[in-house]
Chain A
Amino acid sequence: MMGAGFIIGSLIWTALISVSTPEVTWLVVAVAVGFGQYLAILLPSIEPGQTLESIAT
Chain B
Amino acid sequence: MFGVIPIIVVIVGRYWVKESERFEHLQSVKAAKKAGQTEKVEKLLSKYDVNISEIDKVTLKQLFLTPGEIRRRLVLLTIIWLFYGVSFVATNIYITYWLTQYQGWTSSAVSELLFVSAGIGFFFYIIGGALGEKWGRKRVLVASGILVGPLNLLFLFLHTPVAIAVVYFCIYQVTNGTWSGTGYAYMAECFPTRVRGTAIGWLGSP
Contact = CB atoms under 8 A, between A and B. Distances in A.
A52 B192 contact: yes
A40 interface: yes
Given A26-B98, A41-B142, A48-B134, A1 B81 contact: yes
Q: Kindly state the interface size class of chain A when it binds its partner.
A: 35 or more
Contacts, number: 171
Main secondary structure of the interface of B (DSSP, over half): helix
Contact of B204 (A2, A44, A55): A2
Contacts of A8: 82, 85-86
Nearest to A25: B90
Interface string B107-148: 000000000000000000000000011111111011011101
Interface of B: 22, 48-51, 69-70, 73, 76-91, 93-94, 98, 101-102, 132-139, 141-142, 144-146, 148-149, 152-153, 155-156, 186, 189-193, 202-206
